[in-house]
Amino acid sequence: MASKVVKRAYKYRFYPTDEQREQLARTFGCVRYVYNRALDERSRAWSRERRNITHAETDKMLTGWKCDPETEWLTEPSKGPLQAALRNLQGAFDKFWRKQASYPTFRKKGRSKDSATYFSNCFTYRDGQIKLAKQAEPLDIRWSRLLPEGAVPSQVTVSRDARGRFHISILVETTITEHGPTEVMVGLDAGITSLYTLSTGEKIHNPQHEKKDRAKLAAAQRALAHKQKGSNNRAKARDKVARVYARIADRRRDHLHKLSTRLVRENQVIAIEDLSVRNMVRNHSPARAVSDASWSSFRSMLEYKADWYGRAVIAIDRFYPSSKTCSACGRIVDALPLDIREWTCSTCETVHDRDHNAAKNILAVGLAVQACGDGVRPRRA
């Protein structure tokens, strides 16, 4: 079996000292300030002068901000996280220009995860310990699993979530052995009642983590709403809300990782639909369930794991009528409301489970896309 060298991130929880906690809080604040100010400069230049400010120009601006007496506190943290913030902003603009994401937005304190990225010249890794620049002691990392033998971190990202937990993501180059080839292929039809229906007929149960904790979340949010702003009790109530959200996110991520790993291990080709989740969540009715299903995150997991282990993930045209097409004879019905979960083809009289039929069609179209290298969609009358 072939092997390949890939960049892989290993995430661990760590417990900072009081001094490290304070220093990281200042670093997070500086990173947020640099990101927001650079975004403001770029937006203003475009709206007033129709001029595009490059990443190199914002890097020069950062040097000027450090020399400005009003913002000389930007010299306190390591330079690496500040430069990484400008790179992240450039990446956000690149995705916007490629129409892969919306226009970059400002980062607000307390409303987004704080993070700071350190490049190889801004930290040391020695004897299994990591020490960040401008810190006297190494981080107290809980090594839940070992790094690959001989791996040398190229960068690390420290983060603090809304619940106040600190994590470190360590990026290393490691060798991965591809899975042995197999002739098994599968199509996936995304859903709400069943998270995914496979072309084999198997239905993956949707745990609906957010729905299970909805009552607990609502109670925590009501308690938060009744607390006086700025009080210690409000801070405690906010922490309780964050704990519920963190529990939901952790359980969802764990379930999706296990499912994606299993599918990549068992199947050579995985066909999925190219769903437009952003448009789906604009409809308030299914938005909550769609967000809880986290189809975009699952697709991302499938794609990078398939790339690692020598598998193929094929996304078919989102407008292909997979549910309305008979997988036996190819006839397309005129209408198939969502409340109809089983239907009979009037041509070949095959009885179809809606989701299973769609999964079989997705697999067939996915294999056609793989062979032809193009989207497959029936012609419109």
For the stretch 305-356, pLDDT in tens is: 999 999 999 999 888 999 999 999 999 998 888 889 999 998 899 999 999 9
| Average pLDDT estimate for 154-176 | 94
Opening angle at CA 79, ends 73 and 83, nearest 5:
110
Domain's final residue, options 160, 177, 194: 177
Q: Which of 114, 273, 292, 303 is catalytic?
A: 273
Structural domains in the chain (count): 2
Q: Is 355 a catalytic residue?
A: yes
- Based on the fold, state whether residues 129 and 199 are members of the same structural domain: no
Is 381 part of any domain? no
* Domain match, 303 and 281 both: yes
Same domain, 121 and 200: no
pLDDT (0 to 100) of residue 374: 59
Q: Are residues 273 and 314 in the same domain?
A: yes
Kindly state whether residues 145 and 261 are assigned to the same domain: no
Q: Find the mean pLDDT for residues 208-217.
A: 91
Catalytic residue among 114, 210, 303, 355: 355
Residue 134: inside a domain, yes or no? Answer: yes
Closest by CA position to 333, among listed 323, 342, 341: 323
Look at residue 242 and tell me if it is in a domain.
no
Judge if 347 and 200 occupy the same domain.
yes
* Cα gap 280→194, rounded to integer Å: 17
Q: The CATH number of the domain where 291 resides is what?
A: 3.30.420
Structure token digits, residue 109 = 């304190």
Is-catalytic flag, 273?
yes
Burial 72-97 (b: 16+ CB within 10 A, else e): eebeebbbbbbbbbbebbbebbeeee
Task: Give me the pLDDT at residue 373, please.
Answer: 65
Per the CB < 8 A criterion, the answer to whether 314 and 269 are in contact is yes
Q: Select from 177, 199, 231 the last residue of a domain.
A: 177
Share of the chain above pLDDT 70, in %: 97
- 140 in the same domain as 35: yes
Question: Mean per-residue pLDDT for 216-225?
Answer: 95
* Residue 2 tokens, joined: 């072939």
Reference 248, options 163, 167, 132; nearest CA is 163
Residue 46 and residue 144 in one domain: yes
Residue 308 maps to a domain: yes
Checking if the pLDDT of 78 tops 80, the result is yes
Residues 39, 166 within the same domain = yes
Give the list of residues 6+ apart from residue 374 with CB closer than 8 angstroms, or none: none
Contact at 8 Å (CB) between 193 and 353? no
The answer to the question of residue 107 being in a domain is yes
Calculate the alpha carbon distances from 55 to 59, 65, 80, 92 in Å: 6, 15, 15, 12
E strands, 235-282, in order: 269-273
Its domain, for residue 78, covers 3-177
The residue from 189, 210, 292, 303 that is catalytic is 189
d(CA 220, CA 240): 6
pLDDT tens digits, one per residue of 9-67: 999 999 999 999 999 999 999 999 999 999 999 999 999 999 999 999 999 999 999 99
pTM: 0.86
Q: What are the percentages of helix, strand and coil residues in the chain, rounded to 5?
A: 45, 20, 35
Residues 134 and 79 sit within 8 Å (Cβ to Cβ): no
Strand partners, 198: 188
Flag whether pLDDT at 112 surpasses 60. yes
Flag whether 221 is in a domain. Answer: no
If asked whether residues 24 and 64 sit together in one domain, one would say yes
Question: Residue 33: which of 63, 71, 79, 88 has the closest Cα?
Answer: 71
The answer to whether position 132 is within a domain reads yes
